Structure formats: C-alpha cells, structure tokens
C-alpha cells in the first residue's frame, strides 16, 4: 500500500501540470479565435498536439528551475487580459510580442540538451 500512497502526490502534480498545459494552450487558442484570422487559427489547431508535447517538456524544465511555472503563466496571462481590456491595440500588440519572445528565456540551451 505504501507505493500507492507515495505515488499519489506525484500523480496529483502530474495532473496539475497537464491541466495547466491544456489551459495555457486554450488561452492562446481563444486569443487566436478572437483575432478572426482563420488561416492562423487553422495552423494553430493543426499543430496543437505537437505544441502540447513541446509545452509539457518546457513546463517541466521550467518547473525544475523555478517551481513557479504555473503561477508565472497564470500571472502573465492575467496581465495580458487586463491589457486587452484597458490598453490600445498598439500596447496590446507590444505586450503579446513580449509574451511570445519571453519564451526564449525558458528554452533549454544547446548545452542542456541531450
């Protein structure tokens, strides 16, 4: 019984990471839907499964480094939503670009890859 009880927290953490990853991808898909760019949305949907795998690996790597991946993702997305509600399109575009380019900080370096 002990192996089952000790694996429970890891299972809960795995499910939390999976849910965070799905919500992260959903957030981006909703933004794309709101933009009304049919071709870009179609491209996103065709790549979503690959993005889910890639994002999962990236989230795990980031979580090992900072232990705050989900919190950071939620905070960033909430900031973007607030920007959409209160700022000009130009400011929103700049924030989105910063958000997208910010992922470069999370990407593993060549030395860290197997």
**Tally of residues, the chain:** 114
Euclidean distance between CA atoms 26 and 32, whole angstroms: 10
Do 35 and 83 meet the contact criterion of CB atoms below 8 Å apart? no
pLDDT for 89: 95
Number of domains in the chain: 1
pLDDT for 58: 75
Tens-digit pLDDT profile for residues 61-106: 666 566 667 777 788 889 999 999 999 999 999 999 998 888 777 6
Euclidean distance between CA atoms 95 and 70, whole angstroms: 19
- Full domain range(s) for residue 58: 2-112
Tens-digit pLDDT profile for residues 13-57: 556 667 777 888 899 899 999 989 999 999 999 999 998 888 877
- The answer to whether the predicted template modeling score (pTM) of the entire model surpasses 0.85 is no
3-state secondary structure of 43: helix
């Amino acid at each position: 019984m002990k192996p089952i009880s000790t694996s429970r927290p890891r299972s809960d953490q795995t499910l939390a990471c999976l849910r965070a990853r799905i919500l992260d991808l959903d957030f981006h898909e909703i933004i794309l839907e709101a933009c009304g760019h049919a071709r870009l949305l179609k491209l996103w949907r065709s790549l979503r499964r690959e993005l889910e795998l890639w994002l999962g690996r990236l989230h795990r790597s980031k979580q090992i480094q900072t232990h705050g991946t989900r919190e950071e993702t939620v905070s960033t997305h909430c900031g973007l939503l607030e920007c959409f509600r209160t700022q000009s399109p130009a400011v929103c575009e700049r924030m989105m670009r910063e958000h997208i380019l910010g992922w470069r900080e999370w990407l593993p370096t060549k030395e860290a890859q197997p």
